[in-house]
Amino acid sequence: MKAGPKLKPFCKRGHEMIPENLYIAPNGRRRCVACHKLLMKDRPKTMLQSMPEYMAYCSAKSRCNHVGNRAYPSYGGRGIRFNFVSFEEFLRELGLRPSPKHSLDRINNDGNYETGNVRWATAKEQLYNRRPYVLSSFSDSDLLAEVKRRNLCPQ
Ligand SMILES: [Zn+2]
């Protein structure tokens, strides 16, 4: 038999501690997602929570750490880790989101969320990053427009 602490099958409020209801924090502690949602439900949004940068931070963290997240299989499930230890560190690396068209992107799609591998990118920029097959889904005029957009220097 394995040594070590036994996992309780239910949280203190009686929610079942199945993988879909577990949030595993980077320090290995397990939290009950159902309880967390209950706590958050009636709480007014803080300034932080209304920042798109903070939302991006939370969703990326959840995709990597929360087994119940719908996107988990494509992130945490295939070894992508969320290595920022705080929102402050995350924001220092990325800066403010340049526009609502930008979303969080990893430069190397197989790499982790960490310093040096994250940026704000538009949907189009993100598509370009998923080489090579996506290029074929762009028409010639799309490509031309993108080339023009990137060369913003005088003609
Ligand atoms: Zn609970």
Q: Among 8-17, 25-34, 52-61, 107-116, which stretch is predicted with the lowest mean pLDDT?
A: 25-34
Task: List, as ranges, residues with CB under 5 A of the ion ligand 1.
Answer: 11, 13, 15, 32, 34-35
> Is the per-residue pLDDT at 76 higher than 80?
yes
User: Rounded to the nearest whole angstrom, what is the distance from the C-alpha of residue 54 to the centroid of ligand 1?
Assistant: 24
How many Cα atoms sit within 13 Å of 140 on the Cβ side? Answer: 0
User: Rounded to the nearest whole angstrom, what is the distance from the C-alpha of residue 118 to the centroid of ligand 1?
Assistant: 33
Local confidence band at 81 (pLDDT 50, 70, 90 cut-offs):
very high
Reported as a single tens digit per residue, the pLDDT across 93-128 is 999 999 999 999 999 999 999 999 999 999 888 877
User: Rounded to the nearest whole angstrom, what is the distance from the C-alpha of residue 15 to the centroid of ligand 1?
Assistant: 4
Of residues 46 and 9, the one with the higher pLDDT is: 9
User: Rounded to the nearest whole angstrom, what is the distance from the C-alpha of residue 113 to the centroid of ligand 1?
Assistant: 28
User: Rounded to the nearest whole angstrom, what is the distance from the C-alpha of residue 63 to the centroid of ligand 1?
Assistant: 20
pLDDT of residue 90: 95
User: Rounded to the nearest whole angstrom, what is the distance from the C-alpha of residue 84 to the centroid of ligand 1?
Assistant: 26
User: Rounded to the nearest whole angstrom, what is the distance from the C-alpha of residue 8 to the centroid of ligand 1?
Assistant: 11
> Is the per-residue pLDDT at 78 higher than 70?
yes
Q: Kindly report the pTM of this predicted structure.
A: 0.58
pLDDT of residue 129: 64
User: Rounded to the nearest whole angstrom, what is the distance from the C-alpha of residue 42 to the centroid of ligand 1?
Assistant: 16
